[in-house]
Amino acid sequence: MQHLHIFVDEFGNTSLNLEKTGTFSHFVLTAVLIEEAQIEQARKLRADISRRYFQGHPIKSSRIANDENGFQKRLDVLKELRQLDFLVLSLVINKSKVTGEGLDQNTIFYKYFNRIFLQQFPKNFTSFSIHADQLGWPEFRRSLQHYIQTKVIQRDLFTPDRTYQLVEDDQAETLVQLADFIAGCLGKIYCTSHSHEKASFLFDLLHDRSFVDFYPFEKTDFFLSIPEHDHEKNELIAKIAAASAREALAQHHRLSEEAQAVLQYLYLMFRTAPERLVEKYEIIDKLKRVFPNFSEQQLRVCIQHLRDDGVLIVSIQGKSGYKIPDRVEDIAGFYNRYLNSIVPMINRLNICNRKLLVNSLQQVDLLKANSNYSILHELIKTLDKDKQPHPPLNLF
């Protein structure tokens, strides 16, 4: 693999006083990864963008007006940047969740989260140069550079070609300006205090190049919020579910004898005690009277076939058994059960694909290379997009 140039900048500030007017809800660290072979092209493209969009001045996200013209400029610049092969890695820190001794001090905050963010590079790459936009006073810069070099980079005889340096983005290393600009765009997406109502347009231009992590690194439970008890909806659900069962039973030739028997029993329970979940062992014991070798595996197959045939049969998150639904809570519990299976599966695919993309610098991208995987690519994109904050409603 070629020597990798990594350009790092951030969006927001380290202050944890979120009540202060104008403060940032999130702190966004961003790295732009460019291979050695692309560096000259990157420099020419940066200079061209600077000339065409910034009157020859450095590309600074903070210099772009926060209006419609400014937002369109962001979109135009991103479209120009897509001519270049690069990756974006970012860490979005929710400052309202930051706890820990000393993290309210900006120097400790900055060192702590830079260490978390930058430690992925020596894990994934052997030869790289990190160019980070310098900030603060000289003493702090020296302290930060020493801290990262000793705690993160850790060069040895086998990996000597690793460097970290703080640079001025308008003189020593102008390509850091790309990290500044993209960090600002990601801030418009993920920083709730400064997000833009049209952030989804930025997301669409960055998603296939970006890998975003969120701090705190916590497991998310996906639960559909259950609305207030609604008799009309409950009656409608029960009516539709009952009709689906009756229709399937009337066209019994489409079902196996075992599936018919399972549905007959569930429909009977629905008519006598609609709120009741029927335990698996109860259904199996019932079927074994007619089919002595009937098993739990066969029961699962029968349920699958019935559901595929359009019969509404639910199994509920956190509970055991099956039933024909008769209320909103049944449907919500059924959706929750699948969300807590499907979403983690998609996230694991995303982790695998991200590892391959990042470590190969997008040379291994099976989700895009094979049209059969397009639905997986879209599901991953949808889950990532859902992490964007929703802009507040404009009520006036």
Per residue in 360-392, pLDDT tens?
Answer: 888 888 888 888 888 988 888 888 877 766 554
- pTM for the complete prediction? 0.77
Residue 143 has pLDDT above 80, yes or no: yes
Convert the pLDDT of each residue in 270-300 to its tens digit: 887 788 888 888 899 888 888 999 999 999 9
Asked if 69 contacts 198 with a C-beta cutoff of 8 angstroms, the reply is no
Between 306 and 100, the higher pLDDT residue: 306
Asked if 241 contacts 324 with a C-beta cutoff of 8 angstroms, the reply is yes
Average pLDDT on 68-80 reads 96
Asked if 12 contacts 26 with a C-beta cutoff of 8 angstroms, the reply is yes
What pLDDT score does 390 carry?
Answer: 55
Residue 244 has pLDDT above 90, yes or no: yes
Residue 371: CB partners within 8 Å, gap ≥ 6? none
Residues 129, 150: Cα–Cα separation, whole Å: 15
Residue 179 has pLDDT above 50, yes or no: yes
- The CATH classification number of 4-218 equals 3.30.420.10
Query: What is the number of other CB atoms lying within 10 angstroms of the CB of residue 344?
Result: 13
Residue 220 has pLDDT above 80, yes or no: no
Pick the CATH number of 222-396 from 1.10.1760.20, 1.10.3720.10, 1.10.10.10, 1.20.210.10: 1.10.10.10
Convert the pLDDT of each residue in 3-52 to its tens digit: 999 999 999 999 999 888 888 999 999 999 999 999 999 999 999 999 99
What pLDDT score does 175 carry?
Answer: 96
What pLDDT score does 302 carry?
Answer: 96
Residue 396 has pLDDT above 50, yes or no: no
Q: What confidence tier does 394 reach under pLDDT thresholds 50, 70, 90? A: very low
Average pLDDT on 70-95 reads 95
What pLDDT score does 388 carry?
Answer: 66
Between 81 and 203, the higher pLDDT residue: 81
- Percent of the chain scoring above 70 in pLDDT: 93
What's the chain's average pLDDT? 88
Residue 125: CB partners within 8 Å, gap ≥ 6? 1, 4, 359
Domain limits, CATH 1.10.10.10, in the chain: 222-396
What pLDDT score does 137 carry?
Answer: 77
What are the start-end ranges of the H helices in the chain?
A: 39-53, 68-81, 106-118, 120-124, 138-148, 176-190, 199-206, 231-250, 257-272, 280-288, 296-308, 328-360, 366-369, 374-385
What pLDDT score does 223 carry?
Answer: 45
What pLDDT score does 228 carry?
Answer: 53
What pLDDT score does 224 carry?
Answer: 44
What pLDDT score does 240 carry?
Answer: 96
Average pLDDT on 344-351 reads 90
Domain limits, CATH 3.30.420.10, in the chain: 4-218
Average pLDDT on 207-228 reads 66
What pLDDT score does 138 carry?
Answer: 83
Residue 129 has pLDDT above 90, yes or no: yes
Average pLDDT on 207-235 reads 70
Average pLDDT on 76-105 reads 92
